[in-house]
Structure 1
Amino acid sequence: MTLRAIFESISGHPAILFLLLMAVPTGAFLVNLWSGNTAEEIWKWRYVYAVLVYLACIPGIFAVTLNVYLFLFERQSIWDINLGAQVLPILTMAGTLMLIRQKIPFTYIPGFGKLSGFLTLMTAIMGILWIVDRTHLYAVSYVPFTYVVIGFIALLLIIRFAWSRIF
């Protein structure tokens, strides 16, 4: 089974996809109602919030990177976008994160820093690959491939260090 077949299967059943993706912000809304208003009550629910963040962010980050790939590398037209598989996970992620942020700061959610670091790394990789794709650096260079890989890893480390210094 290919990724295209999975997306075609998901597109064939949009109601199921909509229900699954809308369950996450609905769960965040319900946890906001049940968790109380004092700091101690909210603190007890931080692991539930962590699960909700991961349930929202994993499909959302995947959808963002898929969209970037499709628009930059495959040159997909915006008119051919699949709203259920490419846009709805991003909206679900944004809505869930806004609901959770109203109740608890992200610094108190276990593992949230790992997600932002992963998103930074994905953004850096996509940017570097886009630059390499556009400049055809690999086609006009006589540099051994191991040096290119070492340079790529060094560039990722520099971007990661700079990003952590900025934020």
Structure 2
Amino acid sequence: MVKVHRVSGFHQGKIDANIEDVWALVTDWGSLAWYDDGTNTEGMKLMESWLEGEPGAVPRTRVMSRGDGAVEHGAPEENREVLLVEDHVAHRLYYDATDGFAPGIRNYMASWCFDELDDGGCLMTISSNFDCVPADIGEQHGAMLHGVYVSIVASLQKYFTKAQANARMV
């Protein structure tokens, strides 16, 4: 019998920007121009992204290209994240990435939610659940994805810090 390791991921971080501005950026589902993973570890460096489907439609799919380096490490050159729920009132979205974006990860489901803070910023919460086969890679993949979640929040913070600095210069 095949053993499966069930993994949950979680990260929270503050973004010093208006929640509506952050929401507009992250729901432009095909664009990851704001994202800087800061790595080329194991060929997972994001090369480009684009939208499959209609802007604003649910579901819609973000396609991410990682280039030939991903294939060399057993991952697909392109992977897809399908936006399944986009709640403009609660500032929450759900998506899946079930196409094997990393070797051994199956049934990946994630949620991003944003809560407005009294100081005008917002708190981003990322949570996920997924399975790993073989089971012994679960902890490794959990740690890798936690690093991705940290880089997502840091990238959003960096994007808005730069935008605010540019606005002050005008």
Instruction: Indicate whether the TM-score tops 0.5.
Output: no
- Kindly indicate which of the two structures has a greater share of residues assigned to strand: 2
Q: Give the alignment's TM-score, normalised by structure 2.
A: 0.28
Structure with greater contact order relative to length (CA < 8 Å, sep ≥ 6): 2
Q: Give the alignment's TM-score, normalised by structure 1.
A: 0.29
Larger of the two Rg values belongs to structure: 1
